[in-house]
Homo-oligomer: A and B are copies of this chain.
Amino acid sequence: MNIQTPYLLFLGDAADPLAAKVAQGICDWRPENAIGQFRMEGCHADLGLRDMTIAESIEAGAKTLVIGVANRGGVISESWISILRDALAQGMDLAAGLHNKLADNAILKVDAEKLGRQLFDVRHPTDNFPVAAGVKRSGKRLLPVGTDCSCGKMYTALAIEKEMRSRGLNADFRATGQTGILITGKGVSIDAVVADFISGAVETLSPDNSDDHWDIIEGQGSLFHPSFAGVTLGLIHGSQPDALVLCHEPTRTHMRGLPTFSLPELQLCMETSLAAAKLTNPNAKFVGISVNTSKLDPEAAESYLKQTEQKTGLVTVDPVRQGVSRLVDSIGVAFS
Protein backbone atom coordinates (compact mmCIF):
# COMPACT_ATOMS: atom_id res chain seq x y z
CA MET A 1 0.00 0.00 0.00
CA ASN A 2 1.29 3.40 -0.88
CA ILE A 3 -1.38 6.04 -0.52
CA GLN A 4 -0.72 9.48 -1.96
CA THR A 5 -0.66 12.26 0.63
CA PRO A 6 -1.82 14.81 1.72
CA TYR A 7 -5.40 13.94 2.51
CA LEU A 8 -8.83 15.48 2.75
CA LEU A 9 -10.30 13.82 5.85
CA PHE A 10 -13.87 12.68 5.35
CA LEU A 11 -15.80 12.74 8.65
CA GLY A 12 -19.19 12.06 7.05
CA ASP A 13 -22.05 12.01 9.49
CA ALA A 14 -19.91 10.93 12.49
CA ALA A 15 -22.14 10.16 15.46
CA ASP A 16 -19.60 11.53 17.94
CA PRO A 17 -15.91 12.54 18.10
CA LEU A 18 -14.86 8.94 18.89
CA ALA A 19 -16.30 7.77 15.57
CA ALA A 20 -13.68 9.93 13.85
CA LYS A 21 -10.72 8.53 15.76
CA VAL A 22 -8.88 7.41 12.64
CA ALA A 23 -9.01 10.97 11.30
CA GLN A 24 -7.96 12.23 14.73
CA GLY A 25 -4.96 9.90 14.64
CA ILE A 26 -3.88 11.32 11.29
CA CYS A 27 -4.14 14.89 12.69
CA ASP A 28 -2.20 13.96 15.82
CA TRP A 29 0.66 12.06 14.20
CA ARG A 30 0.89 13.37 10.65
CA PRO A 31 -0.65 16.88 10.70
CA GLU A 32 1.17 17.59 7.44
CA ASN A 33 -0.99 14.90 5.80
CA ALA A 34 -4.25 16.53 6.93
CA ILE A 35 -5.10 19.38 4.57
CA GLY A 36 -8.71 19.80 5.64
CA GLN A 37 -11.88 18.08 6.76
CA PHE A 38 -15.13 17.29 4.95
CA ARG A 39 -18.20 17.11 7.16
CA MET A 40 -21.75 16.24 6.15
CA GLU A 41 -24.83 17.71 7.73
CA GLY A 42 -25.31 16.30 11.23
CA CYS A 43 -21.62 15.48 11.72
CA HIS A 44 -20.76 15.47 15.43
CA ALA A 45 -16.98 15.39 15.04
CA ASP A 46 -14.67 18.34 14.43
CA LEU A 47 -10.90 18.04 14.12
CA GLY A 48 -10.41 21.79 14.14
CA LEU A 49 -9.19 21.67 10.53
CA ARG A 50 -10.53 23.96 7.83
CA ASP A 51 -13.80 22.67 6.35
CA MET A 52 -13.23 22.26 2.63
CA THR A 53 -15.14 21.25 -0.43
CA ILE A 54 -13.48 18.63 -2.60
CA ALA A 55 -12.46 21.29 -5.11
CA GLU A 56 -10.93 23.47 -2.39
CA SER A 57 -8.93 20.58 -0.97
CA ILE A 58 -7.58 19.67 -4.41
CA GLU A 59 -6.52 23.25 -4.93
CA ALA A 60 -4.72 23.03 -1.57
CA GLY A 61 -2.89 19.91 -2.78
CA ALA A 62 -5.00 17.00 -1.46
CA LYS A 63 -4.47 13.76 -3.38
CA THR A 64 -6.63 11.29 -1.47
CA LEU A 65 -9.94 11.42 0.33
CA VAL A 66 -9.55 9.30 3.46
CA ILE A 67 -12.63 7.95 5.18
CA GLY A 68 -11.63 8.83 8.72
CA VAL A 69 -14.89 7.80 10.32
CA ALA A 70 -16.40 4.49 11.36
CA ASN A 71 -20.12 4.01 11.62
CA ARG A 72 -21.80 1.06 13.26
CA GLY A 73 -20.77 -2.12 11.46
CA GLY A 74 -17.90 -0.51 9.59
CA VAL A 75 -19.89 -0.23 6.37
CA ILE A 76 -19.85 2.37 3.62
CA SER A 77 -23.01 4.44 4.08
CA GLU A 78 -25.29 4.95 1.11
CA SER A 79 -25.36 8.64 1.98
CA TRP A 80 -21.60 8.91 1.41
CA ILE A 81 -21.58 7.52 -2.13
CA SER A 82 -22.37 10.70 -4.07
CA ILE A 83 -19.56 12.53 -2.23
CA LEU A 84 -17.07 9.73 -2.80
CA ARG A 85 -17.98 9.65 -6.49
CA ASP A 86 -17.49 13.38 -6.70
CA ALA A 87 -14.01 13.05 -5.16
CA LEU A 88 -13.10 10.40 -7.76
CA ALA A 89 -14.52 12.51 -10.56
CA GLN A 90 -12.49 15.54 -9.50
CA GLY A 91 -9.26 13.57 -9.41
CA MET A 92 -8.77 12.06 -5.97
CA ASP A 93 -8.06 8.50 -4.87
CA LEU A 94 -10.08 7.04 -1.99
CA ALA A 95 -8.76 5.22 1.09
CA ALA A 96 -10.60 3.46 3.90
CA GLY A 97 -9.98 0.97 6.69
CA LEU A 98 -13.53 -0.30 6.94
CA HIS A 99 -14.63 -3.90 7.12
CA ASN A 100 -16.34 -3.80 3.77
CA LYS A 101 -14.30 -2.71 0.87
CA LEU A 102 -14.55 0.35 -1.33
CA ALA A 103 -13.61 -1.98 -4.17
CA ASP A 104 -16.66 -4.15 -3.45
CA ASN A 105 -18.96 -1.21 -4.13
CA ALA A 106 -19.84 -1.68 -7.79
CA ILE A 107 -20.46 2.02 -8.45
CA LEU A 108 -17.18 3.20 -6.92
CA LYS A 109 -15.28 0.39 -8.61
CA VAL A 110 -16.59 1.25 -12.07
CA ASP A 111 -15.93 4.96 -11.52
CA ALA A 112 -12.38 4.34 -10.32
CA GLU A 113 -11.56 2.06 -13.24
CA LYS A 114 -13.02 4.47 -15.78
CA LEU A 115 -11.16 7.43 -14.29
CA GLY A 116 -7.89 5.65 -13.48
CA ARG A 117 -8.15 6.33 -9.73
CA GLN A 118 -7.15 4.01 -6.92
CA LEU A 119 -9.31 2.60 -4.13
CA PHE A 120 -7.23 1.70 -1.05
CA ASP A 121 -8.82 -0.77 1.32
CA VAL A 122 -6.10 -0.85 3.92
CA ARG A 123 -7.58 -3.78 5.85
CA HIS A 124 -7.22 -5.95 2.77
CA PRO A 125 -3.66 -6.40 1.51
CA THR A 126 -3.43 -6.82 -2.24
CA ASP A 127 0.29 -7.54 -2.52
CA ASN A 128 1.80 -10.99 -2.66
CA PHE A 129 4.49 -11.49 -0.04
CA PRO A 130 7.39 -13.95 0.05
CA VAL A 131 7.89 -16.62 2.69
CA ALA A 132 10.22 -15.17 5.35
CA ALA A 133 13.92 -15.76 4.72
CA GLY A 134 15.00 -15.15 8.32
CA VAL A 135 18.18 -13.44 7.05
CA LYS A 136 19.35 -10.68 9.39
CA ARG A 137 18.75 -7.24 7.91
CA SER A 138 20.87 -4.15 8.37
CA GLY A 139 19.59 -1.18 10.40
CA LYS A 140 17.93 -1.28 13.81
CA ARG A 141 14.37 -2.23 14.73
CA LEU A 142 12.11 -1.65 17.69
CA LEU A 143 8.89 -3.57 18.29
CA PRO A 144 6.33 -3.02 21.06
CA VAL A 145 4.79 -6.25 22.36
CA GLY A 146 1.74 -6.40 24.58
CA THR A 147 0.28 -8.29 27.47
CA ASP A 148 -2.98 -7.98 25.49
CA CYS A 149 -4.52 -6.47 22.36
CA SER A 150 -5.37 -2.75 22.29
CA CYS A 151 -3.16 -1.65 25.16
CA GLY A 152 -1.15 1.13 23.49
CA LYS A 153 1.31 -0.48 21.06
CA MET A 154 0.55 1.81 18.11
CA TYR A 155 0.56 4.93 20.27
CA THR A 156 3.85 3.92 21.87
CA ALA A 157 5.49 3.27 18.51
CA LEU A 158 4.31 6.56 17.01
CA ALA A 159 5.42 8.46 20.11
CA ILE A 160 8.89 6.87 19.96
CA GLU A 161 9.21 7.72 16.27
CA LYS A 162 8.22 11.33 16.99
CA GLU A 163 10.63 11.67 19.92
CA MET A 164 13.49 10.11 17.94
CA ARG A 165 12.87 12.40 15.00
CA SER A 166 12.73 15.43 17.28
CA ARG A 167 16.23 14.48 18.41
CA GLY A 168 17.42 14.31 14.83
CA LEU A 169 17.52 10.52 14.80
CA ASN A 170 16.75 8.53 11.67
CA ALA A 171 13.50 6.70 12.44
CA ASP A 172 10.43 5.46 10.56
CA PHE A 173 7.19 4.11 11.96
CA ARG A 174 6.15 0.99 10.03
CA ALA A 175 2.41 0.44 10.11
CA THR A 176 1.01 -3.08 10.53
CA GLY A 177 -2.66 -2.17 11.07
CA GLN A 178 -5.27 -0.14 9.27
CA THR A 179 -5.12 3.00 11.41
CA GLY A 180 -1.34 3.11 11.23
CA ILE A 181 -1.49 2.66 7.45
CA LEU A 182 -3.93 5.53 7.02
CA ILE A 183 -1.84 7.75 9.31
CA THR A 184 1.38 7.20 7.39
CA GLY A 185 -0.01 6.34 3.94
CA LYS A 186 1.73 2.96 3.78
CA GLY A 187 2.19 -0.37 5.53
CA VAL A 188 0.68 -3.84 5.66
CA SER A 189 -2.40 -4.92 7.60
CA ILE A 190 -0.54 -7.89 8.96
CA ASP A 191 -3.48 -9.75 10.49
CA ALA A 192 -5.12 -9.87 7.05
CA VAL A 193 -2.15 -11.51 5.30
CA VAL A 194 -2.32 -15.23 4.46
CA ALA A 195 -0.89 -17.13 7.44
CA ASP A 196 2.15 -18.55 5.63
CA PHE A 197 3.37 -15.06 4.82
CA ILE A 198 3.05 -13.17 8.13
CA SER A 199 6.77 -13.02 8.79
CA GLY A 200 7.59 -12.55 5.12
CA ALA A 201 5.28 -9.55 4.91
CA VAL A 202 7.03 -7.96 7.90
CA GLU A 203 10.43 -8.58 6.29
CA THR A 204 9.14 -6.75 3.21
CA LEU A 205 7.74 -3.91 5.33
CA SER A 206 11.04 -3.31 7.10
CA PRO A 207 13.85 -3.88 4.60
CA ASP A 208 17.60 -3.40 4.95
CA ASN A 209 18.49 0.09 6.03
CA SER A 210 21.47 2.17 7.11
CA ASP A 211 23.15 1.20 10.38
CA ASP A 212 21.92 4.29 12.24
CA HIS A 213 18.32 3.87 11.07
CA TRP A 214 15.51 2.69 13.35
CA ASP A 215 12.33 1.08 12.10
CA ILE A 216 9.70 1.50 14.80
CA ILE A 217 7.36 -1.34 13.90
CA GLU A 218 3.75 -1.23 15.04
CA GLY A 219 2.99 -4.16 17.36
CA GLN A 220 -0.12 -6.35 17.13
CA GLY A 221 -1.95 -8.62 19.55
CA SER A 222 -0.15 -10.59 22.24
CA LEU A 223 1.56 -13.96 22.51
CA PHE A 224 -0.91 -14.56 25.34
CA HIS A 225 -4.07 -13.83 23.36
CA PRO A 226 -5.41 -17.21 22.21
CA SER A 227 -7.21 -15.72 19.21
CA PHE A 228 -4.33 -13.77 17.70
CA ALA A 229 -1.02 -15.04 19.08
CA GLY A 230 -0.01 -16.56 15.74
CA VAL A 231 -0.06 -13.09 14.18
CA THR A 232 2.06 -11.75 17.05
CA LEU A 233 4.66 -14.52 16.79
CA GLY A 234 4.98 -14.09 13.02
CA LEU A 235 5.33 -10.34 13.55
CA ILE A 236 8.08 -10.84 16.16
CA HIS A 237 10.04 -13.25 13.94
CA GLY A 238 9.71 -11.08 10.84
CA SER A 239 10.62 -7.90 12.73
CA GLN A 240 13.93 -9.28 14.08
CA PRO A 241 13.68 -6.61 16.78
CA ASP A 242 16.82 -5.26 18.41
CA ALA A 243 14.74 -3.46 21.02
CA LEU A 244 11.46 -4.55 22.58
CA VAL A 245 9.07 -2.42 24.62
CA LEU A 246 6.42 -4.08 26.74
CA CYS A 247 2.97 -2.44 26.56
CA HIS A 248 0.41 -2.98 29.30
CA GLU A 249 -2.93 -1.76 30.58
CA PRO A 250 -2.96 -2.47 34.32
CA THR A 251 -6.69 -2.30 35.08
CA ARG A 252 -7.77 -4.95 32.62
CA THR A 253 -9.31 -7.94 34.38
CA HIS A 254 -9.11 -10.35 31.43
CA MET A 255 -7.78 -10.68 27.89
CA ARG A 256 -9.73 -8.51 25.49
CA GLY A 257 -12.92 -10.27 24.37
CA LEU A 258 -12.18 -13.43 26.39
CA PRO A 259 -13.57 -13.22 29.95
CA THR A 260 -12.02 -16.52 31.09
CA PHE A 261 -8.43 -15.65 30.12
CA SER A 262 -6.42 -13.63 32.61
CA LEU A 263 -3.51 -11.39 31.64
CA PRO A 264 0.03 -12.77 31.89
CA GLU A 265 2.44 -11.48 34.52
CA LEU A 266 4.70 -8.82 33.04
CA GLN A 267 7.82 -10.88 33.72
CA LEU A 268 6.43 -14.00 32.02
CA CYS A 269 5.23 -11.97 29.04
CA MET A 270 8.68 -10.44 28.64
CA GLU A 271 10.48 -13.78 28.96
CA THR A 272 8.21 -15.42 26.38
CA SER A 273 8.43 -12.51 23.95
CA LEU A 274 12.20 -12.28 24.33
CA ALA A 275 12.67 -16.02 23.73
CA ALA A 276 10.61 -15.70 20.54
CA ALA A 277 12.52 -12.61 19.39
CA LYS A 278 15.88 -14.28 19.91
CA LEU A 279 15.08 -16.90 17.27
CA THR A 280 15.69 -14.31 14.54
CA ASN A 281 17.78 -11.82 16.53
CA PRO A 282 19.84 -13.32 19.36
CA ASN A 283 20.73 -9.79 20.56
CA ALA A 284 17.14 -8.70 21.16
CA LYS A 285 16.54 -7.00 24.52
CA PHE A 286 13.84 -5.10 26.37
CA VAL A 287 14.53 -1.37 26.68
CA GLY A 288 11.47 -0.32 28.68
CA ILE A 289 7.81 -0.63 29.54
CA SER A 290 4.95 1.54 28.30
CA VAL A 291 1.87 1.58 30.48
CA ASN A 292 -1.55 2.92 29.56
CA THR A 293 -2.65 4.37 32.92
CA SER A 294 -5.63 6.28 31.55
CA LYS A 295 -7.99 4.45 33.91
CA LEU A 296 -5.96 5.24 37.03
CA ASP A 297 -5.98 8.53 38.91
CA PRO A 298 -2.67 10.43 38.82
CA GLU A 299 -1.42 9.16 42.19
CA ALA A 300 -2.26 5.54 41.45
CA ALA A 301 -0.64 5.89 38.02
CA GLU A 302 2.56 7.33 39.43
CA SER A 303 2.74 4.65 42.07
CA TYR A 304 2.12 1.85 39.54
CA LEU A 305 4.82 3.14 37.20
CA LYS A 306 7.32 3.52 40.02
CA GLN A 307 6.67 0.05 41.41
CA THR A 308 6.90 -1.54 37.98
CA GLU A 309 10.17 0.22 37.31
CA GLN A 310 11.60 -0.98 40.62
CA LYS A 311 10.38 -4.53 40.13
CA THR A 312 11.63 -4.95 36.55
CA GLY A 313 14.62 -2.65 36.49
CA LEU A 314 13.31 -1.18 33.22
CA VAL A 315 12.36 2.41 32.44
CA THR A 316 8.57 2.52 32.79
CA VAL A 317 6.47 5.38 31.42
CA ASP A 318 2.96 6.28 30.44
CA PRO A 319 3.54 7.76 26.96
CA VAL A 320 0.46 10.00 27.22
CA ARG A 321 1.08 11.39 30.71
CA GLN A 322 4.84 11.66 30.53
CA GLY A 323 5.96 11.22 26.96
CA VAL A 324 8.54 8.66 25.87
CA SER A 325 11.65 10.75 26.37
CA ARG A 326 13.00 8.38 29.04
CA LEU A 327 12.28 5.37 26.80
CA VAL A 328 14.30 6.92 23.98
CA ASP A 329 17.08 7.71 26.46
CA SER A 330 17.06 4.05 27.42
CA ILE A 331 17.31 2.99 23.77
CA GLY A 332 20.26 5.35 23.40
CA VAL A 333 22.03 3.76 26.35
CA ALA A 334 21.32 0.19 25.22
CA PHE A 335 22.53 0.78 21.65
CA SER A 336 25.30 3.32 22.10
Seen from chain A, the residues whose Cβ lies within 8 Å of a Cβ on chain B are 131-135, 190-196, 198-200, 223-224, 226-235, 237, 257-258, 260-261, 272, 275-276, 279-280
- Least CB distance, A231 to chain B, in whole angstroms: 5
When the two chains form the complex, which single residue of B230, B261, B275 contacts A195, counting CB atoms closer than 8 Å?
A: B230
Give the distance in Å from the alpha carbon of A161 to the alpha carbon of B133 in the complex: 34
Inter-subunit contact B258/A133 (CB<8 Å): yes
Distance between Cα atoms of A200 and B231 in the complex (Å)? 13
Q: Which residues of B contact A234 (CB under 8 A)?
A: 195, 229-231
A selection of 24 A-B contacts at a CB cut-off of 8 Å is: A131-B227, A131-B228, A132-B227, A134-B227, A134-B261, A135-B260, A192-B194, A192-B196, A195-B230, A195-B234, A196-B228, A196-B231, A199-B226, A199-B227, A199-B229, A199-B230, A223-B233, A224-B279, A229-B237, A230-B230, A230-B234, A230-B237, A233-B233, A261-B279
Which B residues are in CB contact (< 8 Å) with A237?
A: 226-227, 229-230
Cβ-defined contact, A231 with B230, below 8 A: yes
Q: With A233-B233, A272-B275, A275-B272 in contact, do A226 and B194 touch (Cβ < 8 Å)?
A: no
A327 to B195 CA separation, bound complex (whole angstroms): 31
In the bound assembly, the distance between CA atoms of A132 and B257 in angstroms comes to 10
Nearest B residue to A200 by beta-carbon distance?
B227
In the complex formed, the residue of B with least CB distance to A264 is B279
Contact B198 A230 (CB under 8 A): yes
A237 to B230, CA, bound (A): 9
Chain B residues with Cβ below 8 Å from A258 are: 133-134
- From residue A228, how far is it (CB to closest CB) to chain B in Å? 6
CB <8 Å contact, A229 and B279: yes
CB distance from A191 to the nearest CB of B (A): 4
A191–B199 CB distance below 8 A: no
Task: Determine if A134 and B279 form an interchain contact, defined as CB atoms under 8 angstroms apart.
Answer: no
Q: Which chain B residue lies CB-closest to A201? A: B195
B residues near A135, Cβ cutoff 8 Å: 260
Closest chain-B Cβ to A170's Cβ sits at a distance in Å of 26
Q: Are the CB atoms of A231 and B280 closer together than 8 Å?
A: no
Counting from the closest, the 9 A-B pairs by CB-CB distance are: A230-B234, A134-B226, A191-B196, A132-B227, A230-B230, A198-B230, A233-B233, A226-B237, A230-B233
